[in-house]
Amino acid sequence: MRVRFALLASCFAISLAIPAVQAQDFVGSGVAPATVGHSAERPITFADSAGAGGALVILMADAALPALPGIALSEAERAAVTAAIASAKFEGKAGSTLSLRGIGNHSRILLVGTGSAPNMLARAEAGGKAAQELRSDAAPVTISGALSGAEAADVAYGFALGQYRFDRYKTVDHKVPPADTVTLVGGDAAAAGAAYTSRHAPLVDGVRLSRDLANEPANVIYPESFVAEVRKAFGNTAGVTIEVLDEPAMRKLGMGTIVGVGQGSPRGSRMMLVRYRGPGSNAAPLALIGKGITFDSGGISIKPAAGMWAMKGDMSGAASVMGAALSLAKSRAPVHVVAVAALAENMPDGNAQRPGDVVRTLSGKTIEMLNSDAEGRLVLADANEYTARQYAPRAIVNMATLTGSIVGALDDQFAGLFARDEALAAKLLAAGEASGERLWRMPLHPKYAERMKSDIADIRNIAPSQGPGASLGAHFIGFFVDEKMPWAHLDIAGVNDTSSGSALVPKGMTGFGVRLLDQLARDAETP
């Protein structure tokens, strides 16, 4: 009996120890991106001339084959291309293509239309279109088309965005992506290279960071690892300071919303703040604050199983504000920004928030939490207040995959823009047009506030009755921003991923918002 008792006691002691060990083991799930090379991209260079061979891309503004200085294309080959253009009735319309094979020593000649008066964005889209068309071609690529140095840089920028891929976990029947160089020929090669390196390449890096973070599975990217990856991306970039609050720090400050959303997960919540002050910028910072729910199960108000896997991308807002800050910092832009990621994992364990719970925010305001699946607006409440207190920004822009209702309203063509400040709204709309990441203004109406009133707290996080969900969510967020503060909220739920892709945005997580916020920050420094 004593031996049996001793054995039982020993087993009991072991069983008590197991959960602690498991808690250490399963966070991160041990997945390592050992095949990261699969997602390699072609290097981009600029030159005054290029030899024959490989794929040749010719940008066309109309049906007339342009002069191609520096390109090895004989008169007979030009005649063959011209005949093919006439036969196909190719007119160089924006986004159109014509693929030709068997002409000279080129493995392929690809004609890409830019339209008759292409701007920067049209040239970039032509480059992205070429990248998409040549996605599986192993040969080196030469691009030309009567380009100046700056225009060649624009095309290279588009090619870099368009060639993005995320297939690092494929091991069976995987096609190794082409690694041969892309060479832009035309104008001043040195000037083109300088323009690309100083402006476009950092922006591509920012978009890539956002896409990578959002494409990674939730067992790889969670609050703590998100912080680690962003730290790695910034490295020792000049002008950058990083602040990270963990759960004990946020609890001490009284930040009940971020820790509340994350309390059902063993992966602790975080708030990450990246401040970049560029050379000569003495203005107060522009605050870019993103929702960073690294996985959203819905919590106790659990989501339907169908499509839940896409909720790994519910941190796209946070990923994109960090990508925008990275672009600005690496390009040494003369701006002052603080990018904030409100990070939590929303899971339904026995410690998770319950519908009906009341939480207190850093501001002191209280929230009756009626639905744990309306969690993004909760984490932004504390993030907005902390940023306003610590950094005294001149404006706050929130970015979040917030509501399904915005998808119903705008589909995947626009992000929803909610704003109380007309000047800020105008700058956002202009930045959207310039960057190609377009916004549509949505209403904030005083009557929406009445639907969010709580009988036992200052506000509730949803309206029990149906209503304009995206607008109600925006109103809730705005409730936690001082009315004197210029503020806008961008609902990107319809544009953060794509199943079809486009010239600049391959299939998958889009990185939407990096280009938009980069442009906004640069424009915001001007009166």
Sequence-distant (6+) residues with CB within 8 A of 86 are 63
Taking residue 235's Cβ as centre, other Cβ atoms within 10 Å add up to 8
Instruction: Let me know if 303 is a catalytic residue.
Output: yes
The Cα–Cα gap between 499 and 496 comes to: 11
Instruction: Select which of 199, 275, 377, 515 is catalytic.
Output: 377
One-letter-per-residue 3-state SS of 429-449: HHHHHHHCCCEEECCCCHHHH
In whole angstroms, give the CA distance from residue 295 to residue 201.
30
β pairing state of 357-360 and 366-369: antiparallel
Query: Is 519 in contact with 438 (CB distance < 8 Å)?
Result: no
Phi, then psi, of 211 in degrees rounded to 5: -65, -45
| Other CB atoms within 10 A of residue 181 CB | 15
- DSSP for 28-41, written as a single string: TTT---TTGGGG--
Asked whether 346 and 299 are in contact (CB, 8 A), the reply is: yes
Q: Which of 303, 360, 365, 420 is catalytic?
A: 303
Please identify which residue in the block is written with the tokens 């959203």.
296
Q: Which two tokens stand for residue 28?
A: 């991160």
* Burial class of 22 by CB neighbour count within 10 A (0 to 12, 13 to 18, 19+): exposed
Task: Please name which of 75, 97, 100 lies closest in space to residue 162, comparing C-alpha atoms.
Answer: 97
Active site residues: 303, 377
